Amino acid sequence: MLTPGGRMYLVGLQPLSESQAPADTSDSDILEAGKLIQEVARTRDACLLLAGGHIYREFPIEWSQRQLEKAGLIVTDSVRLVNVCTRSVITRQLDVGRRYVLLLTDTELRGHLLQALDRLDQRLEEKFGASKLTNDEQRNALDSTT
């Protein structure tokens, strides 16, 4: 319980689908990579929804601040840090989409979505280069930890 005059620290994560490069970034490669990561997140979400799944959703900072203020709290400071995503984190997002796509009964839709996921995976490989582990090795490593 928050005592009168007390402080509450709220730490959160901006949704991957809304993550952007830092505002002061002019590097076109970084901006392009940010857009690609947003596309991966949106495609993953589409796969989950089409398969009847539910999307886990982080809340954007602006929404969170409005809710705190509506509750009568005063937001005195806010700090934004850039989401840092490794190749394996993004590969994991594609794999979530793949797992849900396999649940679809419409084989034509399933095939098109798998192709779209593969194209995104290829674009990631072109943008970020080959990782130390192949995509299959990354997936196997992730599967063994879950």
In a domain? residue 9: no
Per-residue pLDDT of the chain (146 residues; tens, 9 = 90+): 778 888 888 887 766 656 555 566 666 777 777 788 889 999 999 999 999 998 877 788 888 899 999 999 999 988 877 777 778 888 899 999 999 999 999 999 999 999 999 999 999 888 877 655 555 655 554 444 44
- The number of domains in the chain is 1
Look up residue 76 and give its amino acid: T
The DSSP secondary structure of 43-93, one letter per residue, reads HHHHHHHHTT--------HHHHHHHHHHTT--------------HHHHHHH
| Inside any domain, residue 65 | yes
- Within-domain flag for 46: yes
